[in-house]
Amino acid sequence: MDSHQTPEPILKPEYLWAVNLPSTATSPGSLLCDRYRLIHSQVVEDTQPLDLPYAPDEFSPLTVAYLRLSRLPLHLPRPYGLLRLEQQDEPVILLENAPLDGAGHLYPPLADVWKTVGPRRQLHYLWQLLHLWQPLAEQQVLQTLLEPQQVRVHGPWVRLLEIRAEAEPVTLALLGDYLLEWRDHAHETIAEVAAEFFYTLSRGTFDPPGAIAFLDHQLSQQGRTMPLTIRVATSTDVGLRRDHNEDACYPYPHRQRRSQQGDLLRDRLAIVCDGLGGHEGGEIASGLAIKTLEQQVQILLRQIQNDRDSFSPRSFGDQLAAIVRVVNNQLVALNDQQQRQAQQRMGTTLVMAVIPNPQGETERQVFVVSVGDSRVYLCTPDRPYQITLDDDVATREATLGYNLYAYASKRYDGGALIQALGTRSSDQLQPRVHRFIIDEDCLLLLCSDGLSDFERVSQIYDAHIRPVLTEHRPLYASCQNLIEQANKLNGHDNITVALMRFTCAPPTTADDQDESSLPTEDTTLQLDAATILQDAFGATEPPLPEEEPPDLDDDASALVLSSKEPLVASDHPESNPIVLWAILLVLVIAGGWMFSTRFFVRSPTLPTPP
């Protein structure tokens, strides 16, 4: 591909669900409003996907609720647009990411699937329902959980079709009464546990955290007897238009062999960082973030290994968020020490997947952390789900209920990041931490926007991503293949990919079949953060502590670096003034990113396709 050619989006048709579309509206195959082809029932297809859909001046409360709940993309659809029909006062809401398969058919209701699945999946379904309780309660649409046709499942994942406003308050006791109808079809190995759970709910004894804790314990017991194999690989590339790579990843590109990775982190950690700030600044930020995260996650996992009985999922998530704030503080301190302002300041995005327990121990779960617009996709045998939200203006406007995403993304500042590591103090940083239970073979794809821009993941999924899961293709070669595809279709930015594959079976020789083809370690491929800082600014990085890790209790704010001082430049930055000022000049000219009181913007790399 020509390095100056602008990528063109290739849109895969997506079926939309039309809320409250009258059955008498039209016949299958005909067009609604000269645009939306009716496939069947309430399923339509947009024949003009490059044009903005209709949006009223003011959204109804129901549309606003859909928009706010779209922050849960694994479980809920998102408003795509609205449709005005002559015979109807209220516009029809068109939903994308609805629980529809590739042929436009609805996934089955949970109530029907419940009786056909095993004990762990039954518990997992209940666990997801309880995690949906609070966000649905905030929008006063808990009635949704009591209507069987609205709660559907795709494999192990609960998917809601339409939300229902509450005519009267819905309580956990009402949910318990509804679920009591399922107790006779609970798997025999958890029949007593399920009955106890349903009765306790119906009596109003549980609150949502208590109900989740009960299910967590039961899932943990089930997980002890179920094997799980995890493998991780990464790769990164400068792309076709850049002359340097500001991305970084873990495992390091030059340490892909499992024998080259530490015992605690092997098969348990994947990170992608996309540096911001231009040339040296972006490289320093992403490299420093990776190095510090590696150290701090290793400390945290060592604590769990030394005191496994005290593990708490909620505390672990809080501690991951605290670690991210430690990284943020180091970058902020370095920016301030070097008096970097506006375009000179450096930062980085972050997506990270962490397995808290060694393989074969307790429940099978993964924690996903994100800051910025790098993404994580959950890849199933059927389709990918984007499970992280972009921290940009367009996503913020949509999830606050202010605008449709299609309109918000067309704003001049729609792609502006509202947060990234290193840009502001940690009390203003909001890392997103999500926990997922692994209930079937699946794949996590972590990537920078060099791959995800223009929805390339969906475009190449069938040919290049699904086979990594279904055909068990070698992971490292698959990472390289995804980078090759990104360069063909995009190429405008650095590209970094991490794959974390989960197989619900014991490890086999096939899991490591590409080990012999992996690159041997070459320390020239990636300098660590300390070397970069030393070369550019005379700064040094504190070494990994040799002493016992600091105690991390349930108060995540107590996480500190113990004997380590925040990473800042040395007291003598003038030791390398030529390099420093040359870098700053490059940053100013290149316009790496702009910082203001509310958000900062990536330097434009190419025009947004129409």
DSSP for 224-253?
A: TTS--EEEEEEEEE--SS-SS--EEEES-T
Domain assignment present for 206:
yes
* Residues 209, 289 within the same domain: no
Gyration radius of the chain's alpha carbons: 25
* Residues 438, 472 within the same domain: yes
Domain assignment present for 320:
yes
* Residues 72, 143 within the same domain: no
pLDDT attached to residue 516: 60
Q: Which two tokens stand for residue 191?
A: 């029949």
> Where would I find the beta strands (DSSP E) of 330-469?
347-348, 350-354, 365-371, 375-379, 384-386, 432-437, 442-447
pLDDT attached to residue 222: 85
Range of the domain at 70: 15-96
CA 408 to chain centre: 20
Domain assignment present for 484:
yes
Q: How many CA atoms lie within 13 A of 479 on its CB side?
A: 31
Distance (Å, rounded) from C-alpha 271 to C-alpha 266?
Answer: 13
Domain assignment present for 367:
yes
* Residues 380, 260 within the same domain: yes
Reported as type and span, the H/E element at residue 153 is: strand 151-154
* Residues 159, 28 within the same domain: no
Amino acid at 41: S
Q: What angle do the packed helices 529-537 and 279-306 form, to 10 degrees?
A: 140
pLDDT attached to residue 509: 74
Characterise 338 by phi-psi region: left (phi > 0), alpha (psi -120 to 50), beta (else): alpha
* Residues 287, 318 within the same domain: yes
pLDDT attached to residue 584: 35
* Residues 342, 195 within the same domain: no
* Residues 286, 372 within the same domain: yes
pLDDT attached to residue 472: 94
Contact 300, 474 (CB under 8 A): no
pLDDT attached to residue 57: 94
Label residues 210-235 b or e (16+ Cβ within 10 Å = b). Answer: ebbbbbbebbbbbbeeeebbbbbbbb
Domain assignment present for 501:
yes
Helix (H, G, I), strand (E, B) or coil at 366: strand
Domain assignment present for 457:
yes
* Residues 299, 423 within the same domain: yes
Query: Residue by residue, what is the 3-state secondary structure of 295-313?
Result: HHHHHHHHHHHHCHHHCCH
- The pTM score is 0.86
* Residues 380, 235 within the same domain: yes
Last residue of a domain, one of 172, 201, 223: 223
* Residues 188, 249 within the same domain: no
pLDDT attached to residue 281: 87
Last residue of a domain, one of 472, 499, 519: 519
* Residues 236, 385 within the same domain: yes
- How many domains, in total, are found in the chain? 3
Domain assignment present for 596:
no
Q: Which two tokens stand for residue 306?
A: 């030394």
Domain assignment present for 609:
no
Last residue of a domain, one of 169, 195, 223: 223
Q: How many CA atoms lie within 13 A of 565 on its CB side?
A: 8
pLDDT attached to residue 593: 33
> Residue 64: CB partners within 8 Å, gap ≥ 6?
401
Residues of the chain with pLDDT under 50: 1-4, 6, 523-527, 536, 539-610
CATH number of the domain at 488, please: 3.60.40.10
pLDDT attached to residue 24: 77
Distance (Å, rounded) from C-alpha 266 to C-alpha 358?
Answer: 9
Give CA separation, 298 vs 64, 220, 295, in Å: 42, 23, 5
Distance (Å, rounded) from C-alpha 229 to C-alpha 220?
Answer: 17
Distance (Å, rounded) from C-alpha 475 to C-alpha 469?
Answer: 9
Partner residues linked to 425 by β-bridges: none
